[in-house]
Amino acid sequence: MNWSWQTFQNRLRITGELVAQTGVRVGMSAETAMPTATDLPVIKDANGKPFIPGSSLRGAVRAYVERIVRTFEGDAHPSKGEARGKGACIPTDKDRWCLESREGLSEEEIYDCSCRVCRALGSPWLASRVRFTDLALIQRDGQSRIEPELRDAVAIDREKESVANKYDFEALPAGVRFQFELIAENLSEGEELGLVLLGVRALEQGEILIGGFKGRGLGHVKLEGTQYEWIDRANLKDYLITGQAGVLDETRRKAALEALFNALTEGR
């Protein structure tokens, strides 16, 4: 596996439409939200159109993949021995990262010591090989402007078991569609490719929820119309000349997933 970015190995581009099965709410942070007519607005682009930040979807997909990997290989932490491409660390807890320090380590050594998920999806020391672009709201020709719904909610005082205060929030209605694009480069064609496809397959099956208020039934989405473009050294010349990418067919996708699960169950 070429762990660096110095040469081109391969490029995977996955596109499709992410469809809201229920209402979806991806909100602004308190620091960036402008005064609005609602207490909790959804995030919007510079033109005032709602969108889903790629980082939000990437985080949800990563959490799903980490959970599956830990089920088979456990968590990765130096106290348990160097990860070396096994398991999944806890990226939100510095004390449970797969690498305690990069001091004195080369790039190759950092890659070698990292857990399975960090190798593909990145860490404070490793650039991610996978990028999710921001998901723009799809507006069909002749379709009226899609506006967020305003919903009422209440906060409960747990001690008094009564209403503490009322507020409202914005959510996009079920049925809205967003343009999905994932780009991954220089993945190993077995386990790392399988790791990315594992997350995408979960999106296709509607198993990953995004945004806030998921406990209220929001955030169910499903990836539809998925297209898999693949470029490697074998077809790179043709792609550079014609712009026509190859296809990662179902047989190769299944083989990559099989390679991943063979590695995850190795030694069990």
Chain segment 89-141, per-residue pLDDT in tens: 888 888 888 887 777 888 888 888 889 999 999 988 888 999 999 999 998 77
Residue 51 lies in a domain: yes
Residue 119 counted as domain residue: no
CA angle 190, 259, 77 (to 5 degrees): 85
Query: How many domains, the chain?
Result: 1
Identify whether the C-beta of residue 45 lies closer than 8 Å to the C-beta of residue 51. yes
Tell me the pTM. 0.87
User: What's the pLDDT at 215?
Assistant: 80
Alpha carbon distance 66, 153 (integer Å): 32
Distance between CA atoms of residues 209 and 60, nearest Å: 7
Domain-embedded: residue 115 = no
Distance CA 45, CA 98 (A): 36
**pLDDT (0 to 100) of residue 79:** 62
**Model pLDDT for residues 50-63, shown as the tens digit of each residue:** 899 999 999 999 99
Q: Vertex 99, ends 68 and 83: CA angle to 5°?
A: 50
How far is the CA of 83 from the CAs of 3, 97, 157, 213, in angstroms? Answer: 16, 10, 44, 35
Angle at CA 230, nearest 5°, toward 122 and 262? 60
pLDDT in tens, 181-202: 999 999 998 999 999 999 999 9
User: Tokens representing 192?
Assistant: 């790392």
Within a domain: 1? no
Rounded distance, CA 210 to CA 202, Å?
Answer: 12
**pLDDT tens-digit readout, 207-239:** 999 988 788 888 899 999 999 999 999 999 999
Residue 153's alpha-carbon distances to 157, 164, 170, 219, 229, in angstroms, are 13, 11, 11, 16, 43
In a domain, residue 256? The reply is: yes
Span 36-47, pLDDT tens digits: 556 677 788 888
Q: Are 6 and 185 in contact (CB under 8 A)?
A: no
Q: Is residue 110 part of a domain?
A: no
CATH number of the CATH domain containing 47: 3.30.70
Buried b (16+ CB within 10 A) or exposed e, 205-239: eeebbbbbbeeeebbbbbbeeeebbbbeeeebeeb
Domain that holds residue 223: 10-72+127-264
In a domain, 2, yes or no: no
